[in-house]
């Protein structure tokens, strides 16, 4: 029998989340960001479920090739653009849009061999401090791109937010203002909003929204889960109990004897650990579900196993289902105990975990 640890991907949840985000930005087109293998959910299955999206955003040219091989004909946008001049003919062959954010990329386009012109997105740095042309150069770069024979005239201008997940912070408003001010009189569509901005900053919606984590039911908003934001988790990570035992006061559990029982208690052992992508830094007190009921981890997470408290679950037996995160247990709660975010956990599922799809449609 195969290892019990399984990541169940809920295709109906992906569609629900796309519909929810469209309702929040009804006048915008949607670029569904499917980078990092669909945020760990599986690129091809995610793209199939999100086939109503107007475009897909990827971080690697290989992912664009996978989408085209799977038959998807929507616009595909390479979010960091070409890495070298040799990527330009590949982009042309695949009919993939390129984000242009650096002078080297502009030079490659201006010196490109004759061929079909590319659709490009001009990235402007309004405060993220990562990729993008300075505000003062944006108009001139836009002009050069429009005059470049290798580029189609309908250029989309875009930026990225640094603090859009902090709804009370002023920086996002300031970035919107800088973006609009520097592009006055510049033709073309605009794209500003990432997942958090779609939810919390309506003024940023413009022509294109670019949700990523929200499509998967993930929240980047501190203290709020995806469910709190009207989204549904697209992944349930589950396993089974493979052992149970009684320990007495003074007995320890796990590596380093980090947990010491204060009373007689019953513990269970579940077949999941950091070798599956469960966070090692989640320790005693981290919530987990057994038969749909909440209990908590005790001791350190090891590579293949973790221990949990069954003291208040006399009915629990070897073979019973255990849910690490998903319906009934937001991934954000587990991530917070490990000092990280749900995005990292979803992207970190390892190859030995079995994936399955479910669809209530």
Burial class (CB in 10 A: 0-12, 13-18, 19+), 311: middle
Closest by CA position to 231, among listed 13, 56, 75 = 13
CB distance 110 to 118 below 8 Å: no
d(CA 265, CA 52): 51
Distance CA(6)–CA(239), nearest Å, equals 6
Query: Which is the catalytic residue, given 24, 35, 39, 123?
Result: 35
Question: Which helix (DSSP H) or strand (DSSP E) does residue 122 occupy?
Answer: strand 120-125
Residue 260 parent element (H or E):
strand 259-260
Contact by Cβ (8 Å): 273, 304: yes
Asked if residues 43 and 62 have their Cβ atoms less than 8 Å apart, the reply is no
Q: How many CB atoms lie within 10 A of CB 166?
A: 16
Catalytic residue among 19, 153, 245, 255: 255
Q: How many C-beta atoms lie closer than 10 Å to residue 255's C-beta? A: 10
**Euclidean distance between the first and the last CA atom of the chain, given in angstroms as a whole number:** 29
Provide the 8-state DSSP code for 256. Answer: G
Answer yes or no: 255 catalytic. yes
Other beta carbons within 10 Å of 262: 8
**35 assigned to active site:** yes
Which sequence positions are flagged as catalytic? 35, 255
């Amino acid at each position: 029998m195969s290892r019990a640890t399984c990541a169940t991907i809920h295709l109906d949840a992906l569609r629900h989340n796309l519909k929810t985000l469209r309702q929040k930005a009804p006048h915008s087109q949607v670029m569904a960001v499917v980078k990092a293998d669909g945020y760990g959910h599986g690129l091809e299955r995610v793209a199939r479920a999100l086939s109503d999206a107007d475009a897909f955003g990827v971080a690697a040219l290989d992912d664009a090739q996978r989408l085209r091989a799977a038959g998807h004909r929507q616009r595909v946008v390479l979010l960091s653009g070409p890495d070298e001049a040799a990527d330009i003919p590949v982009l042309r062959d695949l009919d993939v849009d390129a984000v242009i954010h650096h002078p080297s990329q502009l030079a490659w386009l201006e010196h490109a061999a004759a061929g079909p012109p590319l659709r490009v997105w001009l990235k402007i740095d309004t405060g993220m401090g990562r990729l993008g042309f300075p505000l003062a150069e944006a108009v001139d770069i836009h002009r050069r791109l429009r005059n470049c024979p290798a580029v189609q005239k309908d250029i989309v201008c875009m930026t990225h937010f640094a603090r859009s997940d902090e709804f009370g912070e002023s920086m996002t408003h300031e970035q919107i203002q800088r973006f609009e001010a520097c592009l006055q009189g510049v033709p073309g569509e605009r794209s500003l909003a990432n997942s958090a901005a779609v939810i919390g900053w309506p003024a940023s919606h413009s022509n294109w929204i670019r949700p990523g984590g929200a499509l998967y039911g993930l929240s980047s908003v501190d203290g709020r889960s995806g469910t709190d934001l009207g989204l549904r988790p697209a992944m349930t990570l589950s396993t089974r109990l493979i052992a149970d035992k009684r320990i007495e006061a003074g007995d320890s559990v796990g590596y380093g004897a980090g947990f010491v029982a204060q009373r007689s208690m019953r513990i269970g052992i579940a077949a999941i650990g950091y070798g599956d992508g469960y966070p090692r830094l989640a320790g005693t007190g981290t919530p987990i579900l057994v038969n749909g009921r909440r209990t908590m981890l005790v001791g350190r997470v090891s590579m293949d196993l973790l221990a949990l408290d069954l003291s208040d679950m006399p009915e629990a037996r070897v073979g019973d289902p255990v849910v690490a995160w998903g319906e009934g247990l937001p991934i954000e709660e587990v991530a917070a105990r490990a000092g990280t975010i749900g995005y990292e956990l979803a992207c970190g599922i390892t190859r030995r975990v079995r994936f399955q799809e479910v669809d209530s449609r």
